[in-house]
Structure 1
Amino acid sequence: MQDDVGKYKSYEEYLDSLLKAEDKIYMDQEMGRMIAELGYRSSGETLTREKFAQIREQIQMDKRMREKKNEKTEIQDGGEEEDPIVQSVRERYASNKEGTLNTILYLQIETEKGAVVSGHIDIRERIAQENFLPYLTGEKTLTPQSEDLTYANLSRGKGKFTSTPQWQVISENRTLAFKSSNGLDLVYAIPNISRREKEKELSQQWTEIDTKNKNVKAKLFDLYL
């Protein structure tokens, strides 16, 4: 099925391929596509527009990954090492996109000029709001933006909190936390030994990423739904 989808440039072209010759004689194009989309012109599963788009996106991602791999310059025996942040995010991409996982990625980046930018990124929200493919292939670097859950530019003295459909940002009494949309989970950005055991447990579920770059710090929190 995936190989077949790769042949079509659009969902409409896919629907047209399901029609028979007589359909094109007795029905106009719009009616024919409607009949095909309802499943009356396929002996197997007829893809929905959403499913078709998902498969095409996966095909494009696989193609870009192969191209990216071929472009890498091999060093020593093992070849070029992949960015740990890219790898971690890619492993969680499908689950966040499908809505079975909500991931928060914290990044702190120090630039060559000494400026420090940090923030908590709602991965599921980023996937929904922009073309995420370049981040997965490493062609584009994932960095905190002012629309993320938290954003801070220490050199400019700027900071901002933004809640998303997945997380409500709570900042009070010098405490930063994220409340999940189900209202059951409160995730603390920084562990605090004075909190109750349950709160400490949620705080300590952050996973540190060894970025292999002294100027970049990263950690992840995964909430499975």
Structure 2
Amino acid sequence: MSKKLIGRTSLLEADRRLLQYTCYEDYLDSLGTAQDECYLASEETSRAIAELGYRSSGETLSREEFEKRLAAILLYLYPPYKPYELHSEGFSKGDQLQLELSLRERANRLGNLSTIIFLKIYTKSGFEISGYIDYAEKLITEDWKPFFRGKKKIVPKFNDLGYYHYRAGKITANDTLNYKVLYEDREGLLFQNRFDRKTINLAPGTQPGANTTKKRVHSADYDLVVLFDHVVRQKI
């Protein structure tokens, strides 16, 4: 953990004391003394003196600082619940790939399933573009609603888990949120799930590995589609 993050967490923990005050005036009143009650003419005067810092040996918060830090500690302790939105919500019929990915969306968002999508397409000029896509990561970083509504196709990108562009002569492999790229001379390209450390073998004609199945999906929009479904047994 970075020093900056540790410092922020420590400050938030220290600010728990602010939860006892319902408003800024209550905070100022807590800084007052018994002598203030005896000798000062009003609460407003006592609060004004406290706000100027004469009633505390440490830091005295301004109204703006008090409200800002109280809001921060409330957000830290009671973060608002934001349920994820299924981008395939309402999908009923369409291309087979749309159907298969809609069935897998919820499990990938929950982390119970980690799907790798292999796609191969050919350009109008006849050049191959193919790639491996970390579906769970893409659900977080991209909007899939256009895909499930038939308005957008999936196209492998150079920053995906794996990417091959024949004409450009470009081959890339990148670590993602869910997978690390491994190379093994005999097997070729392998991916390791970050959570249970199981290895997924993508080579044709081989078993994909423990807790992993593969399924070929026929789609008119793609020349070849294979889904590798890895059941995540244990998060570490």
Query: How does the TM-score come out when normalised to structure 1?
Result: 0.61
**Letter of the aligned partner of 1:50 in structure 2?**
K
Q: Which residue of structure 2 aligns with residue 121 of structure 1?
A: 133
Q: Which residue of structure 2 aligns with residue 173 of structure 1?
A: 185
Matches of 1:61 and 1:140 in 2, distance apart?
A: 13
Matches of 2:184 and 2:108 in 1, distance apart?
A: 28
CA contact (8 A) 2:213 2:230 kept: no
The answer for unaligned runs of 5 or more in structure 2 is 1-66
Matches of 1:184 and 1:160 in 2, distance apart?
A: 22
Are the structure 2 counterparts of residues 216 and 62 from structure 1 closer, same or farther at C-alpha, using a change threshold of 3 Å? Answer: same
Structure 1 position 158, deviation (Å): 0.7
Are the structure 2 counterparts of residues 184 and 61 from structure 1 closer, same or farther at C-alpha, using a change threshold of 3 Å? Answer: closer
Matches of 2:199 and 2:160 in 1, distance apart?
A: 18
Q: Which residue of structure 2 aligns with residue 217 of structure 1?
A: 224
Matches of 1:212 and 1:50 in 2, distance apart?
A: 36
Is 1:149 the counterpart of 2:161 in the alignment?
Answer: yes
> % of aligned pairs identical?
25
CA RMSD of aligned residues (A): 3.3
**Letter of the aligned partner of 1:140 in structure 2?**
K
Q: Which residue of structure 2 aligns with residue 206 of structure 1?
A: 214
**Letter of the aligned partner of 1:122 in structure 2?**
D
CA contact (8 A) 2:130 2:164 kept: yes
Matches of 1:153 and 1:189 in 2, distance apart?
A: 18
**Letter of the aligned partner of 1:113 in structure 2?**
S
The answer for unaligned runs of 5 or more in structure 1 is 1-29, 39-45, 70-80, 194-199
Are the structure 2 counterparts of residues 155 and 93 from structure 1 closer, same or farther at C-alpha, using a change threshold of 3 Å? Answer: same
Query: How does the TM-score come out when normalised to structure 2?
Result: 0.58
Matches of 2:208 and 2:185 in 1, distance apart?
A: 20
Matches of 1:169 and 1:159 in 2, distance apart?
A: 13
